[in-house]
Structure 1
Amino acid sequence: MCGIVGIFDPRGERQIERQTLHAMNERQHHRGPDEGDLYLETGVGLGHRRLSVIDLSSGQQPLFNEDGSVVIVFNGEIYNFRELMAELSGRGHVFRTHSDTEAIVHAWEEWGEACVSRLRGMFAFAIWGRNTKTFFVARDRLGIKPLYYALADDGCFIFGSELKALLTHPELKRAIDPFAVEEYFAYGYVPEPRTIYQGVHKLEPGHTLTIRVGQPMPKPQRYWDVPFQPHAPLSIDDATRELHERLRDAVQSHMVADVPLGAFLSGGVDSSAVVATMAGLTKEPVNTCSIAFNDPAYDESVYATQVAEQYKTRHHCETVDKDDYALLDTLADLYDEPFADSSAIPTYRVCELARKRVTVALSGDGGDENFAGYRRHRLAMAEQRVRSTMPLAVRKPLFGLLGTVYPKADWAPRFLRAKTTFEALSRDLAEGYFHGVSVMPDRVRARLFSPAFRTKLQGYGAFEVMGAHAANSPTDDPLSTIQYLDMKTWLPGDILTKVDRASMAHALEVRVPLLDHEFVEWVSGLPSSLKLRGQEGKYIFKKTLESQLSNDILYRDKMGFSIPLASWFRGPLRQRVREALLGPVLADSGIFNMEFVSEMVEQHQSGRRDYSAPIWMLLMFEAFLRKDAA
């Protein structure tokens, strides 16, 4: 795992400034503290920070082919690199190292842009081919590893693993993108390909970009998508048998390392499945890490301990105060742009713990997206069943009216909180799902923004992100469609971003076997009835694991990394909320209707409404604005 940066002049003329490239590279020192280096020639500068995981004695980057005509910087791991090396050696390629990086170099020589289709792993890399005057960048299929890029004012193409590296470049403007602000306050993050800054982009998952000297700047090209192609009919027994084999293969492929390796163990289904599988693949005890909370309402460490004892792992657990809000300012520096997933705090802590024991940790991320494990999946399908009973021409006015007149009742029992459901039922599947996952619904954002800022939006709405993905969905199945939407937005924009930044802040490599693309492709072809059956999400996954994990692990209610935001903002962070949200930073930005911001603070702190999620979003945005102005 590493950090990569680069500067490329598409005209092939400019001399790249070593000092600028060095500054960009060192801004990501935390991603690769073991070593770093630069390569410069006319028109090209590449930088790399290394966290040594495979081939510790060699494999330093930037890395070249045997005649020096091709050079690469690479962040990630290629799990099938040995098979690629054998194939490429048979085709006459000469290898000087045993690193997965060199396998990519020769794969690009052999297959060109199509090399990415041969790679099994997580990756973001840039290749310069001197003979063909071609600059090639790529990102893995699911977006596990990040890649940011922009055209600087001097015409150079610049890129890096984190946004902070690009911001070091003196020719990059920092103009906040109004559309990104709208998206952030809907989703809680800025979805690909946008960033918070105009003109700065994330290379989308499953995309490449090829730039040839002297030619116009092209658009990124997609090379992969989640297929959702149905399999031939499978019995339950056949499905569980093959799922078990594919899970074992995915986990085994992710266990290749020349450094200490372990796993996160929360006690939930997904991490427990990974640990149970790892234990069956090694004679040595698995190193496992988890965190406990000092409040039983937020603590599931007893389940992690149960799995650890069952599989005799070397288990390490540390207790975190549920009021662990000391990281608020750290988060703004960690994520570089507004990011409002409060579980970033416990994620940071578990990565901090894991790094004391291991250099590589496997996680269970991706299980909910693969197997429809979120509560929102159940709710969306329940709403879809209602939609199917009446046409939109009836639903829209009926439920639209009910959604308008029904009060917002945060204080009421859940079955009486129908406003959001009525609003969702007046929309189609994609619009209803967007409404359900929006941290701040349309009606709240409409009040949040100032009239001047709404003018800048020119009618743009955050649903356009999800709407575009829905239009490109490879499936008509409702459950598969919303899984697809999650995999295009929530998974790379929130889950994988959160884990990448939190882990790399501690120079920890996190691998996600449940997002192995071969595993994802196969699982996507399973019928929806094997994923969500009645109210049971992950149905086939849990059935597959019944011989390995207890019912307490498999069938208890999902918990997750909960943070007591509502009580924080009425208690220990009461004054901080008032100073941040009602102070000059938000007011001077011109973005917000400060009367409504004040109303939210007053109503939340008085206990009349629960505005904890919007307040957290505003806290994170205020921290970003302060950092951006520094």
Structure 2
Amino acid sequence: MVHLYEQEGENGVHRLRGMFAYALWDRERQTLLLVRDRLGIKPLYYTVRAGRPEGEGGVVFASELPALLAACPPPALRPAALAQYLTLLYVPGPGTVFEDVQQLLPGELLKIVNGKIETRRYFRPEQSLTRRSSLDATDAPTPFLDLLFETVRAHLVSDVPLGLLLSGGLDSGAILAMMRRATNGSIRTFTIGYEAHADRSYNELDAARVLARHFGTEHTEERLRPDAVKLLPRIVASMGEPFADSSAIPTYLVSEVARRSVTVALSGIGGDELFGGYPRYLGIRAAARYARAPETLRAWVATHLASKLPEGDGSRNQIGRLKRFLSDGHRSLSEQYVRWISSLPPEWGASAFTPEWLAQAGPLATSDEYRSVFTRWPSEDPADRAMGLDLQTYLPDDLLRMGDRLSMAHSLELRVPFCDHELLSFALALPASTRLAGGTLKGFMRKALRGLLPSTILNRAKYGFRVPLARWLREDLREMVHDLLSDETVRRRGYVRPEYVRWLVHEHETGARNFADQIYALLVLELWQRQLDQAVL
């Protein structure tokens, strides 16, 4: 690294590949560089201290918020960030939950020279769109598989035991196929599932077992009956900041299982964003077609038909998706998509939050910011725009943040081949129509992997890394919900109206509505605040 900097200066970062976050001090030029990898696999937080008691300024940086806070006076909470968190279930970069504490964006470089701070993006994913490929779904599989193999092989370099977190999906299945192509030796794979009968629809054990047998792996599977009451405080502490994606629970558990046998594990994170794996990508294309219907008709359907559909809370929740689709069909495409990925509609702000806190937080602007990112993505295809937004927000700020923190909580190094920037460039060079070939999620990948993966896996619907959160909140976590979200506690915090929380909990517990995400977000926030209070005291 030092030699590369001596030869090429700060532009040497373009020669790096993979995951990294580094600081480099050039004593001769009195220059400090902070750099984060292109897709945001590794985090990097910093705060600039304009003055300290001894009269000096400085910058403090760390790969985790708790480490940074240990070196600084306790910063104030940022009200706007809490609004973002309750809307998205995470705090998006470049801000954090704290005032004056920032995080570098993916592909960003920060330079401090003689106290002057400059930041610049050395990589933006949309740059790949200028190289749109002439390859189609017929021609592209061979170069895709060659590049995926080369990428996975590079990720296998290790002098410690290595394995794969295996679901029953295409992404980890594709990585496993490339691992087997790279070695005839033993491959260790790890999968978890749920023991309780009511939760078995969330299991991917059978599909993972099919893949493990097909490729002859040394497979470990565990059926768990998680004690969510004990787990949640540990997960919240490991994240170090408010984070309410409930996939954190299985991520934490499978990392714990894998660490008993290996020190490094590969994961399929990133495949959905690159190659079109989320149902909402097909949904936004359908919304574009639905937009041709008269607006008055779409508004009538939203008001009179969608409102009568149940919420649903199953492992796939098709009815809930249809309800969201019809409810938002009279809005612009950008607004629809942002509402789909938000747990709190903007118009709920006045009824959910206290006036005093709203005055501090200001406008709930996350929706506008995300709509702008969606609209600016240089493609006319709404699915392209949706994937572009997710690449810049959901992938680094939710999935990669979660994977990094919760694997490292068990001293497990997580590697993510699909987040290689060469593979990203290849994927983005393919239009969404190719990636969603045949109007199918990951249609291109399915075609490319034909003959490599069992047909049961290729034809299997996407499940995702979910937990039965709605049921847990009604049963296992019910007592915790009533304890941590009591009127007294909610009123003392001052963010949310107690009557709003009571309404959420009542509607959810009676089965009238599915408010699992909203209740879980409030629960995590209170747990995190209690841990923060103890740390400060």
- TM above 0.5: yes
**For the Cα contact (< 8 Å) 2:351–2:497, is it kept in 1?**
yes
Q: Which residue of 1 aligns with 2:59?
A: 157
Secondary structure of the 1:407 match is: helix
User: What is the distance in 2 between the residues matched to 1:212 and 1:382?
Assistant: 50
Which amino acid in 1 is paired with 2:342? S
User: Which of the numbers 337, 343, 355 marks the counterpart of 1:433?
Assistant: 337
User: What is the distance in 2 between the residues matched to 1:329 and 1:415?
Assistant: 32
User: Which of the numbers 233, 243, 268 marks the counterpart of 2:144?
Assistant: 243
User: Which of the numbers 109, 116, 122 marks the counterpart of 1:223?
Assistant: 122
- TM-aligned CA distance change 1:256 to 1:168, over 3 Å: same
User: What is the distance in 2 between the residues matched to 1:585 and 1:415?
Assistant: 34
2:19 maps to 1:122 = yes
Which amino acid in 2 is paired with 1:251? V
2:183 maps to 1:282 = yes
Over alpha carbons, which structure has the higher Rg? Answer: 1
User: What is the distance in 2 between the residues matched to 1:616 and 1:255?
Assistant: 37
User: What is the distance in 2 between the residues matched to 1:501 and 1:417?
Assistant: 30
**For the Cα contact (< 8 Å) 1:399–1:422, is it kept in 2?**
yes
* Identity of matched residues, %: 37
Shift of 1:418: 5.6
Which amino acid in 2 is paired with 1:217? I
- TM-aligned CA distance change 1:415 to 1:288, over 3 Å: closer
* Comparing 114-123 and 449-458, the one that deviates more: 449-458
More helix per residue: 1 or 2?
2
Gaps of 5+ in 2: none
**For the Cα contact (< 8 Å) 2:268–2:418, is it kept in 1?**
yes
Q: Which residue of 2 aligns with 1:484?
A: 388
Q: Which residue of 2 aligns with 1:540?
A: 444
Which amino acid in 1 is paired with 2:121? R
**For the Cα contact (< 8 Å) 2:247–2:466, is it kept in 1?**
yes
- TM-aligned CA distance change 1:323 to 1:564, over 3 Å: farther
Shift of 1:533: 3.4
TM-score (norm 1): 0.79
Q: Which residue of 1 aligns with 2:310?
A: 410
* Comparing 220-229 and 505-514, the one that deviates more: 220-229
2:525 maps to 1:625 = no
Secondary structure of the 1:221 match is: strand
Secondary structure of the 1:127 match is: strand
Gaps of 5+ in 1: 1-103
Which amino acid in 2 is paired with 1:221? R
Secondary structure of the 1:330 match is: helix
Secondary structure of the 1:610 match is: coil
Shift of 1:473: 2.2
User: Which of the numbers 108, 112, 116 marks the counterpart of 1:211?
Assistant: 112
Q: Which residue of 1 aligns with 2:348?
A: 444
Superposed counterparts of 1:133-532, under 5 Å: 133-152=30-49, 154=52, 155-171=57-73, 173-213=74-114, 215-218=115-118, 220-226=119-125, 227-294=128-195, 295=197, 296-321=200-225, 324-387=228-291, 389=292, 395=295, 399-400=298-299, 403=302, 407=307, 409-411=309-311, 420-470=324-374, 472-532=376-436
Give the aligned CA root-mean-square deviation in angstroms.
Answer: 2.0
Which amino acid in 1 is paired with 2:515? Y
Secondary structure of the 1:111 match is: helix
User: Which of the numbers 111, 134, 138 marks the counterpart of 2:8?
Assistant: 111
User: What is the distance in 2 between the residues matched to 1:385 and 1:375?
Assistant: 16
- TM-aligned CA distance change 1:503 to 1:601, over 3 Å: same
User: What is the distance in 1 between the residues matched to 2:516 and 2:339?
Assistant: 18
User: What is the distance in 1 between the residues matched to 2:110 and 2:457?
Assistant: 43
Secondary structure of the 1:236 match is: coil
What is the CA deviation profile of residues 384-438 of structure 1, one whole-angstrom value per residue up to 9, with x for unaligned ones? Answer: 2222x26xxx63x664565456526435795597653244333322221101111
User: What is the distance in 2 between the residues matched to 1:236 and 1:433?
Assistant: 26
**For the Cα contact (< 8 Å) 1:182–1:461, is it kept in 2?**
no
Secondary structure of the 2:130 match is: coil
User: Which of the numbers 447, 471, 480 marks the counterpart of 1:576?
Assistant: 480
**For the Cα contact (< 8 Å) 2:89–2:245, is it kept in 1?**
yes
Shift of 1:126: 0.1
What is the CA deviation profile of residues 329-352 of structure 1, one whole-angstrom value per residue up to 9, with x for unaligned ones? Answer: 112211121100111111111111
User: What is the distance in 2 between the residues matched to 1:460 and 1:573?
Assistant: 29
Q: Which residue of 2 aligns with 1:588?
A: 492
What is the CA deviation profile of residues 20-57 of structure 1, one whole-angstrom value per residue up to 9, with x for unaligned ones? Answer: xxxxxxxxxxxxxxxxxxxxxxxxxxxxxxxxxxxxxx
User: What is the distance in 1 between the residues matched to 2:388 and 2:320?
Assistant: 30
Secondary structure of the 2:220 match is: strand
